[in-house]
Structure 1
Amino acid sequence: MELTADGPTAGRGDRARGALLGLAVGDALGAPAENLRPSEIRRRWGRIEGFVSDDPAGTDDTEYAIFSGLLLARHGSALTVSHVERAWHHWIADLDEGPFRGAGFSERGTLENLRRGLAAPISAQHRHAWSDGLAMRAAPFGVFAAGRPAEAARLVAVDGRVSHDGEGIYGGQAVAAGVAAAMVGAGLASVIAAALSVVPMDSWTARSLRRAVTAAQRPYPDRLTGERAVRSAVVIGGYPWTDLAPEAVGLAFGAFTAARGDFREAVLMAVNMGRDADTTAAVAGALAGALQGASAIPRAWASAIGPVRGSCLPSMRGYHVLDIAELLTPDDAEDAPGGRGAPPAPDREHAFTAPPGGPSPLPAVSGARTRRAGR
């Protein structure tokens, strides 16, 4: 299935920048609210309407999305599970980076399995194979396979077989397909339909997504009531883990639907619903950014996003999500602000130097960004 535009007009390169910058913005906005209940968020900040940190930064969501985007840029539709597994070893599992620097339990379980010598798909057989760790890094696949939701879903499942299974895979597929549809301006209903078309209709993911979207489409007397309705439609009360893929994906699509695709409203609703707020807002931001383009992202938010710090994946330090947008849409890069003409970053040269024992499995970036987006 290929989709054509019937929504807002924007170029493919602008939508790519919108999707990946939107992911990073949502991640940074939601990070302080991660694992909090809405009542706790209101008690600390009232309603979050922007960054609540003086030094906002992305988390594992952005760094793993960059990692997967670089891998996809190198291999494209020829990507195999072996490519993904090898990259996990070279750039994550086999590096001596000291204590684990922070990511979800799915990543921790995968790394432990890989370090024990287990291979995919057995490496994904751990307690948290259903987490949202694949959904959080799925947007680059939708950017690459713009207008081809089925191909985006196929490719993200290849990536996910190293770390996820079952509902964890389905969550990634729904996000990748939704972004692929949004990348050609397919319209709100078509984006949702694309996400549902690539996962089993009786799956937990599909049920959560349908429930959230249905709740989001109803009229409410005020914004808070609407947020509570969407959250109640999806969240399992009392369950201690917040990184459930069906839940996070459902909440993200619910926020995207309630906002009618508006970037600011979608991301802020996702943040203020709490739970795994960084991932939920990252996914909502990727969907809305792909649909509306980078110009829909408030300039102050875009300007706060710099190259990632490697706080989770040290090997990704210094790369910017806009680099990934350029790599995944090379035909549109000449028109991108700070695109191919941007100066190289000297401190980035190390990042994809071949590790001991083999060549780099990932591409270099021709135009590295040493400044924050939007400046």
Structure 2
Amino acid sequence: MTPTREETRTEGTRSEGHEPTLEERITGALVGAAVGDALGGPVEGYSPDQILERHGGRIRGVVGPWHGDDWRTARPVAPYHKGDGHVTDDTLMTHALVRVYARVRDHLDAYAVADHLVPDLMTTPRWIPELEAEALPLHRVFLAEKWLAARLHYGHVDPREAGVGNIVNCGAAMYMAPVGLVNAANPAAAYAEALDVAGAHQSSYGREAAGVLAAGVAAACAPEASPDTVVTACLALAKDGTRTAIEKVCEAAGGCADAESALGALRAAVAPYDTVGPDYRAPSLGARRPSRLHAIEELPVALGMLVAARGDFREAVLGAVNYGRDCDSIATMAGALAGALGSPVPQDWATTVAEASRLDLWAPARTLAEVTGEVFAADVRRRRAHERAFAAMGGPACSD
């Protein structure tokens, strides 16, 4: 669980003029996502004011459960040990998707979800930090993720259409960073692959958010990337309400001095596109229904925090955490984006989360870096074969 010397690229290499390598960006994104998830978990569902009152100020690192020692019984619907550095289902799903890449060792689609991801969730017990026990991941994931098993394993639905009918939320987007990393520096390819993968899980703006998050992570991996280039890449691909929400939220974020001052501004900007409403624990009747006019809240706010924080990991993640509402997923996305940009993940946070969760946060990054290299090499071979075939048909030869 403790990183090796090479893996502790957590204290600023970018700021010293070092351009992060692909492996460093993959590590930063995956470790950063897990750290953001763990920091946001204990305050998920609460407002910034409630968080401020409960903790006597803004959260600045790992904190304990909201209900203290009563975490098992305070909310029987969710008897999870959220806090103390424990990752949530966002990270469990992200690591599961990395394992699918490790098996397939190529681009994924909706059928890979049915053939590999669902069996992984249903058949192999793993350590679940919030349950403090070994269990099937399926027993921890939220209802929107249990949908995968119901539709694909039991219902035998076409994987490309299985997401239709599920609640429209951030369920697919929250674990889609690996797709962006496999397609590093190619946002359009990441977007297309994520839309295919997410089709097994989500529809409407939930599926769209998965594609755009993957595109954003891919854009963040490009040399000399910045929050502005990431947002530009997302806007170039995003559709309907998702695009408008990102545009409005990031415009508001650009006028904020920092992530702290962005808390209210970002919520006001995203509110017209969010279906949940002002009370996160009492969603409106129209919440999470398909629409071309709306967007999930989490992705635009994560991008907004990235902009407000000027790409700084610590500030973007803490802004996402103190935003409240679905802040574990917002911080997961913000952490993945900032980590892919090369902003340092605080080593003390990463080590605390790894030890508390009993997870090796760096092993998935090593695996995905290997797979990403293999997939890129396969893509080059496929592209060269296409070029030769196209030239043989009398088409123009590729000049380079």
* Most deviating of 95-104 and 71-80: 95-104
Q: Quick check: 2:32–2:336 contact (8 Å CA) kept in 1?
A: yes
Q: Partner residue of 1:152?
A: 190
Identify the range of structure 1 (225-234 vs 276-285) with the bigger mean alpha-carbon deviation.
225-234
TM-score (norm 1): 0.76
The match for 2:130 is none
SS in 2 for 1:246: coil
Cα 1:307–1:141 shift into 2, 3 Å: farther
Aligned residue among 47, 50, 63 for 2:58? 47
Amino acid at match of 1:26: G
Identical pairs, percent: 33
Match of 2:44 in 1: 34
Hey, what does 2:112 align to over in structure 1? 83
Aligned equivalent of 1:132: 170
- Given that 2:122 and 2:138 are in contact with CA atoms closer than 8 Å, whether structure 1 keeps it comes out as no
Q: Which amino acid in structure 1 is aligned with residue 40 of structure 2?
A: G
Counterpart AA for 2:205: E
1:369 aligned residue? none
**Which residue of the partner structure matches residue 255 of structure 1?**
305
Tell me the CA shift for residue 31 of structure 1: 0.2
Match of 2:367? 327
Measured after TM superposition, the shift of residue 99 of structure 1 is 10
- In structure 1, C-alpha distance between the alignment counterparts of 2:317 and 2:202, rounded to whole Å: 26
Q: 1:230 aligns to what?
A: 266
Cα gap change, 1:98 to 1:91, in 2 (>3 Å): closer
How far apart in 2 are the matches of 1:157 and 1:77? 16
| Alignment partner, residue 56 of structure 1 | 85
Q: Provide closer, same or farther for how the CA distance between residues 241 and 148 of structure 1 changes in structure 2, counting only shifts above 3 A.
A: farther
Aligned residues: 314
SS at match of 2:354: coil
Paired with 1:276 and 1:307, the residues of 2 have a C-alpha distance of: 24
Distance 1:173 1:332, change over 3 A: closer
Q: Structure 1's 35 and 108: CA in aligned 2 closer, same or farther, altered over 3 A?
A: same
User: What is the rounded CA distance, in whole Å, between the counterparts of 2:221 and 2:124 in structure 1?
Assistant: 35
Instruction: Report which stretch shifted further, 238-247 or 40-49.
Output: 238-247
Distance 1:231 1:134 in 2: 22
Q: Which residue matches 1:336?
A: none
Q: Compared with structure 1, are the counterparts of its residues 171 and 307 closer, same or farther at alpha carbon in structure 2 (3 Å cutoff)? A: farther
Over aligned residues, Cα RMSD in angstroms?
2.8
Residues 1:216 and 2:253 aligned together: yes
Specify whether residues 98 and 8 from structure 1 end up closer, same or farther in structure 2 by C-alpha distance, changes over 3 A only: closer
Alignment CA distance shift 1:307-1:67 (3 Å)? farther
After superposition, give the CA deviation of every residue in 1:103-161 in whole Å (9 maximum; x if it has no partner).
33321333222343232234312341x21011111111111111111111122222211
Structure (1 or 2) with the greater helix fraction = 2
Partner of 2:103: 74
- Provide the C-alpha distance between the structure 1 equivalents of 2:356 and 2:172, rounded to a whole number of angstroms: 19
Larger Rg: 2
- How far apart, in 1, do the equivalents of 2:226 and 2:309 lie? 13
Q: What secondary structure does 1:68 align onto?
A: helix
Measured in 2, the distance between the counterparts of 1:153 and 1:308 equals 33
Match of 1:285? 335
Counterpart-to-counterpart distance in 2, 1:152 and 1:212 = 22
